[in-house]
Every structure is written in structure tokens, then in C-alpha cells.
Amino acid sequence: MAVSLENRRAMVTGAGGGMGRSHAVLMAERGADLVIHDVKEDGALETAEMVRSHGRDAHVIACDIRDVSTFTAAVAAAGRIDILVNNAGVGGARRRVEDVTVDIFDQMFEVHVRGTFFATQAVLPGMKERKDGKIINISSIYAMGGSDLASHYAAAKSAISGLTKSWARELAEWRIKVNAVAPGFIVTGMTQASNPPEKIAERAAGMPLGKFCEPMDISYAVAWLACSETDLISGQVISPNSGEVIVGY
């Protein structure tokens, strides 16, 4: 039987679609109430309905994560948050170094690094007060092995690894556990937007375990890190990636 998340309240950023929706719905199935955030209000409302269909409460925050003051005020008004999943993200769009403008670079770091940093800052007062909390940052295999066509994305995800390890040290005193999940290639809106179907099929054929991970494979890792079974795991990176990327010690 899956481990329960009953009596827990989780916030997932970027949960209006893609893997964020899958993380939110799986945690609701396991008993958690949810705060659903996304810049796309329609998507966030749809996810909230899916959460409610499992009998759980859903509160929606619709704003750009780059608008730190609006986002922070909305989080403060949203009530208790025991679990934060820093998931909101934008893709690297198969860009070479020369194709990355200052605006594209800034957006990448603002959504992933600044977004993760200040979403975490927003939930810390409550977690510190309760001396309990789980923070799960979404990184990528590209933070582990690099990328030939998205170095700006790999750099932003590598920064998230640094935050994960640093916060695991800094926040242990308050029993706040901080880990990262680093997905392999998953077919979502993000990857379909920049990879033609034949590229996706070619890459799928090369997966050592025979197929791509699905969003739910990533959600299982997220829900496990959110539950009490992993209360003594902090500062770690779990990478469901169908065996494509394996890093050493």
C-alpha cells in the first residue's frame, strides 16, 4: 500500500499541466490537500478540479513566479504548507550558445533559480515554526551530464542542485528535508515544443530500460520524498531516467 500523505498540505508550482499536475494529483490520491500554482490560471483550475475529485482540498494561486512580491503574498495567504515542490519551469528549446539572447537567459534563471529560491523563502517561516517540512526541487539529467543543446537550461538546473545541497545543510536544524528529483527525458508540452516527433522516437529507442519514463514515474519519486518514509533523507538527488544517465561517486 502506498504511504499516506494524509494531514499534509502540499504546494506544487507550475502545476497547471505537465508533470506538476501529475505530482499534485498523485499526492491528492495519497491523501494530501494541495495548493496549485501556475501562471496559466485555466490549467491550475483544471488541476484543482482533479484534486477535488479525489476528495481533497485545493487552493489555487495564479501568477507568474517571477513576480516575487505577488507570489509571496499569495503564498502567505494560502495557509499552512508542509511540502513544497519547486516544479515550474521553461524548456531549453534546443538552443546553441549563440542562440541564447540575454532575455532568454534571464527568463531561464528567473523561472528556475529565482523562482525556486523565493518560493522556498515564502514557505520557510511556517516550516521553521513547526520544525518540519519537505522541499522537493525539480532538477534534470542535464544538471548531471550536461546538454549539447541547452547549456542555459543545464546551468539553471545545476544551480537548483546547489540550492538543494546547501538548503539540506542550512535547514536541517529545523528538520526541513530538502531533496531534488532529476527527471530524464519525458514527453510533455515542454519537450514536444522543441523536439520533432522523429527525434523523440529516435531517443525513445535508445533508452536502456526500453522506454521513456512517464510523468507518473517522476511523481512516484516526488511523492516518496514527500512522505514520512524519507524523513532521514536530505540533500539527495533521485533521477528516474530509464537508465540513460548514470553518475558515479
Residue ranges binding ligand NAD (CB under 6 A): 14, 16-20, 38-40, 43, 64-66, 87-90, 111, 138, 140, 183, 185-186, 188-191
Task: Give the three cell numbers for residue 224.
Answer: 516518496
CB-based burial, 32-69: b 16+ in 10 Å, e otherwise: bbbbbbbbeeebbebbbebbeebebebbbbbbebbebe
Phi/psi at 11 (nearest 5 deg)? -115, 130
Q: Which is nearer to ligand NAD, 177 or 185 (CB)?
A: 185
Length of the chain: 249
Q: Which is nearer to ligand NAD, 172 or 247 (CB)?
A: 247
For residue 249, indicate whether it is catalytic: no
Distance in Å, CB of 184 to ligand NAD, minimum: 7
Distance in Å, CB of 74 to ligand NAD, minimum: 11
- Active-site option among 142, 153, 220, 249: 153
Q: Which is nearer to ligand NAD, 17 or 133 (CB)?
A: 17
* Per-residue CA distances from 27 to 58, 69, 107 (Å): 12, 27, 29
Q: Which is nearer to ligand NAD, 5 or 138 (CB)?
A: 138
Which H helix or E strand runs over 200?
Answer: helix 197-205
Distance in Å, CB of 19 to ligand NAD, minimum: 4
Residues annotated as catalytic are: 153
